[in-house]
Each structure stands twice: as structure tokens, then as C-alpha cells.
């Protein structure tokens, strides 16, 4: 297969109208935080055991088409000695890899961030390909304040995402392009919509400049939602219909129909909230597949059920299968919260 065929095969294996992607690519400090919450030490063996559990869940391939792994996991094996990337692909779950190296302050733009990791990226990708990775993920982060993101922030982050994506495609690796507008802080839905539109506009402009093939990439954005806790009787959780309207409106303005799939991050929403909102978004729909690339919203119930104990593996697997299945229904706009207790 030549490079273009390889890219297309990976897109075909990742994108359909039902399945989604699991983000299991927590860096060492992040997985430590997740394990701390269940009083489990973050040792290499515990991380291996946990990620084996995720990938060995029977039937998971029915609902998930891809998994994003952390570098360490790509080099790990299950108890039977099979590399975890192979374990995933046995279920037709395509293994991918997070390739960015986290964020630092963006010089010249107080309050903005920029993501590290472009140096030596092509060499690292070649190693990951040998280890079985077929797609990659890179995340740029945009905090919202009264003055952020700045014009420089929009430009510099978009540039980096495009440089990364072009580097991946040159080597036959499908890039997941993740511009994450942070849901933290206080902002209303209008502000989130305005920022997300500017971010995506800049990202697609840069992708074009770098010659990125839109048909052979995946976009991983946040949903457009408010983040305000209002006091007293004004307090309301965001309405899924309102979130879906704003989210689709922004995409229609900025994301070309050539992009095959948009896979949301969960960004701190509860598992149920993330599923309800995905369902509302799919009830509107668009020219792209509208799917998931959830981390916390798929894994939180799994960690709670597992608690680091071998005797809980079955309960943990069914917690994962349940969330994956309900999100597959939400992909079709056929989910309702009553299904949580079925
Ligand atoms: P969450 O779904 O937990 O936001 O994580 C997805 C992810 O990969 C963020 O980079």
C-alpha cells in the first residue's frame, strides 16, 4: 500500500456511523491523578493492568473503532505477552498514539499556551508506526479569559496543529487535530461560540497552508457550551438542545464537509452529560460523522468499578461496555437517559 492508500484504509477502519474512539492516552501525571482518586499507586504494572483491562473488554470493538494510547502503553504487553496495540486490533480497534509533549506559556501572549513536541516528531512517528500505531493525536489548548485567546495565540496554535498534521500524513499516519477550547473558567455560551469559531477558522486556514488532506484527518473539538454556575433560581445546567444548536452552527461556519469525522473530547462533562449532549448534536447532524473521542466520560465509571482489584475486572469491563454502547446509541440520536438504568 502506498501512503495515500494507508491513510485511506485507516480512515475507513476508524470512521463509521456507530462507533467512536477511546482516549486512553493520559500522560504520567494525569493517570496518577486518576489513580489517586481510587487510592491506587501509579506504577508501570498498575498502568499496564488497567490499560489491558480496557482493551481486553469483550465486545468493545462493536462500539469503538479506535483507541489513543500513551507512548508507554504502545510498548506494553498483556498478561499473555501480546503487545497491547495488537490486543486492540484483534477487536478491530485501531491503535493510535498521543504525540504531543504538553503545553507551555506562549511567549508574547500572556495567558495563552502552546504545545511542545514538534522537534524530532517524524523520527518518533517512525518508531510508533513500527509499534503498530496508525493514527496520532496532538492537542492545542485555548484558555478563555476576557483577553484570551489573543490573535497571536490563535495563529501560533493553528500553525503548530497544521505542522503536526502535515508531518503525520507524509508518513501515512492519520492525524487527529485537537484544538481544545477549555471548558474551565466562567463564560457564557455566546463567548464559547465566538472563541470556538475563531479557533476553528484559524485551524482550517493553517491546515490548508500546510497542504493537509482534509479527507484523511479527524477533528477533535470541544462542544460549544456555557461554563457558569449562576446563583439561586437562575442556576441551570446547560440545555442539550442549546449546546447542540451552537455547536453545529459553529461547525457549519468553519469545518469543511470534506472532513470525514468530528470526534468530541468530553472535557470534564459527566459521563451522562457527555452522552446526552452527543445525542442532541446527532439529532441535528451534519455532513460529517459526529462521534466521540472521550477520555474521562468513558473511563470514570470504569475506574470507580475497578478500584485496582482483579476481582472487579468484570464489573469494570461492563461499566466500559455500557458507556460505549450508550454513546453508540447517541451517535444515532437514539439515546435517552432512562437507558442508564436498563
Ligand atoms: P477528555 O474526554 O477526558 O476531555 O479527554 C480527551 C482527550 O484526549 C483530551 O486531550
Q: What is the per-residue pLDDT for 146?
A: 92
485501531: which residue's cell? Answer: 94
Query: Would the pLDDT of 154 be above 60?
Result: yes
pLDDT digits (tens, 9 = 90+) for 161-176: 999 999 999 999 999 9
- The answer to whether the peptide bond before residue 149 is cis (omega within 30 degrees of 0) is yes
| 24 contacts 54 by C-beta, under 8 angstroms | yes
pLDDT digits (tens, 9 = 90+) for 213-249: 999 999 999 999 998 665 554 445 679 999 999 999 9
Query: Would the pLDDT of 52 be above 90?
Result: yes
Q: What is the per-residue pLDDT for 230?
A: 53
Give the chain's length.
342
Residue of 22, 219, 265 best suited for mutating to test ligand 1, as the one with most atoms within 8 Å of CB: 265
Percent of the chain at pLDDT exceeding 90: 94
User: Which ranges constitute the DSSP H helices of 182-226?
Assistant: 189-209
- Which of 3-7, 37-41, 170-174, 223-227 has the least mean pLDDT? 223-227
Work out the pLDDT band at 187, boundaries 50, 70, 90.
confident
> What is d(CA 189, CA 184) in angstroms, rounded to the nearest whole number?
13
Query: Would the pLDDT of 271 be above 90?
Result: yes
- What CA dihedral angle connects 46, 271, 11 and 67, to 10 degrees? 0
Q: What is the per-residue pLDDT for 238?
A: 77
Query: Measured from the CB, is residue 320 less than 6 Å from ligand 1?
Result: no
> What is d(CA 166, CA 164) in angstroms, rounded to the nearest whole number?
6
Q: What is the per-residue pLDDT for 233?
A: 47
Residues in a beta bridge with 92: none
pLDDT digits (tens, 9 = 90+) for 67-115: 999 999 999 999 999 999 999 999 999 999 999 999 999 999 999 999 9
Does 211 or 235 have the greater pLDDT score?
A: 211
With H, G, I as helix, E, B as strand and everything else as coil, classify residue 156: helix
pLDDT digits (tens, 9 = 90+) for 191-205: 999 999 999 999 999
Let me know the angle formed at the C-alpha of 67 by 127 and 168, rounded to the nearest 5 degrees: 40
* Secondary structure element (H or E) that encloses residue 103, with its range: strand 103-105
Work out the pLDDT band at 46, boundaries 50, 70, 90.
very high
Q: What is the per-residue pLDDT for 229?
A: 60
- pTM (2 d.p.): 0.97
Residue of 294, 300, 301 best suited for mutating to test ligand 1, as the one with most atoms within 8 Å of CB: 294
Query: Is 178 one of the annotated active-site residues of the chain?
Result: yes
Q: Count CB atoms within 10 A of the CB of residue 141.
A: 19
Mean pLDDT of the chain: 96
- Residue identifier of the C-alpha nearest atom 5 of ligand 1: 295
> What is d(CA 83, CA 128) in angstroms, rounded to the nearest whole number?
13
Domain 3-341 has CATH 3.30.930.10: no
What cell was used for 253?
A: 461556519
SS (H, E, C) 249-311: HHHHHHCCCCCCEEEECCCCCCHHHHHHHHHHHHHHCCCCEEEEEECHHHHHHHHHHHCCCHH
- Residue identifier of the C-alpha nearest atom 4 of ligand 1: 267
Q: Count CB atoms within 10 A of the CB of residue 278.
A: 31
Mean pLDDT over 282-304 rounds to: 98
**Strand 103-105 and strand 94-98: pairing?**
unpaired
> What is d(CA 169, CA 3) in angstroms, rounded to the nearest whole number?
8
pLDDT digits (tens, 9 = 90+) for 132-152: 999 999 999 999 999 999 999
Q: What is the per-residue pLDDT for 237?
A: 62
> What is d(CA 266, CA 248) in angstroms, rounded to the nearest whole number?
16
Closest-CA residue to 69 (of 120, 141, 137): 137
Ligand 1 nearest-atom number relative to CA 265: 2
> What is d(CA 80, CA 225) in angstroms, rounded to the nearest whole number?
44
Mean pLDDT over 305-312 rounds to: 98
- Chain mean position to CA 329: 18
Mean pLDDT over 240-268 rounds to: 97
Query: Would the pLDDT of 334 be above 70?
Result: yes
User: Which ranges constitute the DSSP H helices of the chain?
Assistant: 3-14, 28-36, 44-56, 71-74, 84-90, 121-130, 151-170, 189-209, 240-254, 271-284, 296-306, 313-331
Amino acid at each position: 500500500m502506498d501512503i495515500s492508500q494507508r491513510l485511506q484504509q485507516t480512515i475507513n477502519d476508524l470512521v463509521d456511523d456507530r462507533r467512536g474512539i477511546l482516549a486512553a492516552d493520559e500522560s504520567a501525571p494525569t493517570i496518577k491523578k486518576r489513580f489517586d482518586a481510587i487510592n491506587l499507586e501509579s506504577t508501570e504494572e498498575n498502568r499496564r493492568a488497567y490499560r489491558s483491562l480496557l482493551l481486553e473488554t469483550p465486545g468493545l470493538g462493536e462500539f469503538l473503532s479506535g483507541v489513543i494510547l500513551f507512548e508507554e502503553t504502545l510498548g506494553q504487553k498483556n498478561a499473555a505477552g501480546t503487545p497491547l496495540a495488537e490486543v486492540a486490533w484483534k477487536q478491530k480497534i485501531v491503535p493510535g498514539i498521543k504525540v504531543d509533549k504538553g503545553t507551555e506559556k506562549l511567549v508574547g501572549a500572556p495567558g495563552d499556551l502552546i504545545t511542545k513536541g514538534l522537534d524530532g516528531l517524524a523520527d518518533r512517528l517512525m518508531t510508533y508506526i513500527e509499534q503498530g500505531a496508525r493514527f496520532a493525536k496532538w492537542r492545542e489548548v485555548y484558555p478563555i479569559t476576557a483577553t484570551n485567546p489573543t490573535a497571536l495565540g490563535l495563529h501560533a496554535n493553528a500553525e503548530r496543529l497544521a505542522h503536526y498534521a502535515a508531518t503525520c500524513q507524509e508518513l501515512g499516519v492519520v492525524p487527529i487535530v485537537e484544538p481544545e477550547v477549555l471548558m474551565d473558567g466562567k463564560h457564557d455560551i455566546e463567548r464559547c461560540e465566538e472563541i470556538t469559531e475563531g479557533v476553528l477558522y484559524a485551524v482550517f486556514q493553517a491546515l490548508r497552508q500546510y497542504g493537509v488532506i482534509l479527507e484523511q484527518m479527524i477533528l477533535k473539538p470541544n462542544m460549544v457550551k456555557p461554563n457558569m454556575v449562576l446563583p439561586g433560581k437562575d442556576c441551570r445546567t446547560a440545555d442539550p438542545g442549546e449546546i447542540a444548536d451552537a455547536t453545529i452552527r459553529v461547525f457549519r461556519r468553519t469545518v469543511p464537509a470534506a472532513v470525514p469525522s468530528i470526534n468530541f473530547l468530553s472535557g470534564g462533562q459527566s459521563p451522562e452529560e457527555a452522552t446526552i449532549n452527543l445525542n442532541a448534536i446527532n439529532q441535528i447532524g451534519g455532513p460529517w460523522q459526529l462521534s466521540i473521542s472521550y477520555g474521562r466520560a468513558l473511563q470514570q465509571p470504569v475506574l470507580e468499578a475497578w478500584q485496582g482489584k482483579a476481582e472487579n475486572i468484570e464489573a469494570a469491563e461492563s461499566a466500559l461496555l455500557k458507556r460505549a454502547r450508550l454513546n453508540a446509541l447517541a451517535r444515532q440520536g437514539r439515546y435517552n437517559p432512562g437507558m442508564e438504568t436498563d
